[in-house]
């Protein structure tokens, strides 16, 4: 089963009118408001050598197909001198009661133009003393938690991941299970010798508090040919009659990113009930190749509208695209697949 691309893709593109999003608008989180509007929090960057990364905000009033920007400035930016002073990336949004909870990847220093040959770059992260933590010295990625009620003011709640592990692709479950909070994440170092997974894979962790989910279990690694490299979670778990539905990505031997789906047990999310044996999307259109990362498709959000699953994805680290499928058909397909 394959996802169908929207004919109007890309639905969000860089705009020269706003310097902070003149080069990149990608990897969007989405959620559906009570009035039916679909809102989007997207990663954005301008054409500066440091490549600082921000969040922009957009809204759709036509069922999640066309979006208008809600602000001509970032709604959330890197801190001045904190642990996320370099960039904020790849948000995922859930709602608990009256608050929105946003996981986001961050770095202490801007990454620079990572797609440019090193010899031609004009910026490199500052060097740290050798006794500083490795994540600082290597400008590696950690994942933080944001809270907001209005997307105008935010609370930086703290880090969700361990301070010594390069860890991203973090998604929180939208409700407690067995009295605990749960998240899926992708720690880069938890693979190879001593682990059951050769390449970086998906782990699931739980805890009594959102900032202390440290009871960790390996969830899934590469299984099929199209998953020959690292894999990670993409969209926050969606509760369905057949299990928790998540989308995941894999990077294959050709370095292209492809998207698949999984169903996890409703009462024990450490159990994978079914996972797609073939990918649901791979890069095909020009806008999925002509950007900062050729051949990358990367969803960070999905919503269900009238039985149709709307999947919003980053394309080539530059654009936002939309793909759809019938939700019940996807669930029926997954139930024919093994775990």
pLDDT tier at 253, thresholds 50, 70, 90 = confident
- From the list 207, 273, 261, 268, the residue with the least C-alpha distance to 234 is 261
Residue keyed to tokens 């699931």: 204
User: What pLDDT digit, counting tens, does each position of 95-115 carry?
Assistant: 999 999 999 999 999 999 999
Q: Which of 87-122 are b and which e, b meaning 16 or more Cβ less than 10 Å from the residue's Cβ?
A: bbbbbbbbeeeeebbbbbbbbbbbbbbeeeeeeeee
Q: Rounded to an integer, what distance in angstroms lies between the CA atom of residue 58 and that of residue 38? A: 9
Given 3.20.20.450, 2.30.31.70, 2.115.10.20, 2.60.40.10, which CATH number is that of 4-334? 2.115.10.20
What's the DSSP call for residue 288?
Answer: G
Distance of CA 170 to the CA centre of its chain: 7
Q: List the Cα angle 100/101/103 in 5-degree steps.
A: 140
Contact indicator for 288, 314 with CB cutoff of 8 Å: no
Domain assignments of the chain as residue spans, ordered by start: 4-334
Q: What are phi and psi of 160, to 5 degrees?
A: -90, -20
Residue 193 CB contacts under 8 Å (≥ 6 apart), including other chains: none
Residue keyed to tokens 């992708």: 186
User: What pLDDT digit, counting tens, does each position of 164-217 carry?
Assistant: 899 999 999 999 999 999 999 999 999 999 998 999 999 999 999 999 999 999
Q: Rounded to an integer, what distance in angstroms lies between the CA atom of residue 326 and that of residue 282? A: 18
Query: Does the pTM of the predicted model rise above 0.95?
Result: yes
Q: Rounded to an integer, what distance in angstroms lies between the CA atom of residue 102 and that of residue 212? A: 16
């Amino acid at each position: 089963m394959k996802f169908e691309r929207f004919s109007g893709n890309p639905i969000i593109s860089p705009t020269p009118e706003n310097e902070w999003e003149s080069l990149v608008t990608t990897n969007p989180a989405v959620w559906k408001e009570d009035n039916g509007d679909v809102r989007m929090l997207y990663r954005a960057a301008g054409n500066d050598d440091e490549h600082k990364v921000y969040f922009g905000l957009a809204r759709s009033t036509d069922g999640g197909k066309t979006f208008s920007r809600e602000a001509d400035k970032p709604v959330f930016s890197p801190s001045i001198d904190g642990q996320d002073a370099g960039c904020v990336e790849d948000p995922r949004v859930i709602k608990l009661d009256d608050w929105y909870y946003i996981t986001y990847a961050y770095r202490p220093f801007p990454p620079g133009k990572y797609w440019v040959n090193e010899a031609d770059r004009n910026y490199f992260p500052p060097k740290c003393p050798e006794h500083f933590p490795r994540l600082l010295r290597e400008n590696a990625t950690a994942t933080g938690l944001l809270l907001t009620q209005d997307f105008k003011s935010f609370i930086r709640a703290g880090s969700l991941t361990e301070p010594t592990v390069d860890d991203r692709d973090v998604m929180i479950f939208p409700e407690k299970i067995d009295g605990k909070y749960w998240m899926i994440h992708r720690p880069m170092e938890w693979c190879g010798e001593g682990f059951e997974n050769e390449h970086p894979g998906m782990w699931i962790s739980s805890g009594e508090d959102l900032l202390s989910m440290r009871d960790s279990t390996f969830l899934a690694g590469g299984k099929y040919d199209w998953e020959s490299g690292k894999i990670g979670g993409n969209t926050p778990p969606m509760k369905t009659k057949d299990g928790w539905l998540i989308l995941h990505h894999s990077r294959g031997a050709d370095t292209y990113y492809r998207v698949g789906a999984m169903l996890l047990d409703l009462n024990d999310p450490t159990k994978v009930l079914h996972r797609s044996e073939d990918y649901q999307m791979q890069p095909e259109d020009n806008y999925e190749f002509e950007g900062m990362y050729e051949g990358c498709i990367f969803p960070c959000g999905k919503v269900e509208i009238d039985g149709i699953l709307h999947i919003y994805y980053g394309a080539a680290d530059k654009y936002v695209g939309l793909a759809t499928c019938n939700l019940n058909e996807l669930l029926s397909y997954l139930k024919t697949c093994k775990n």
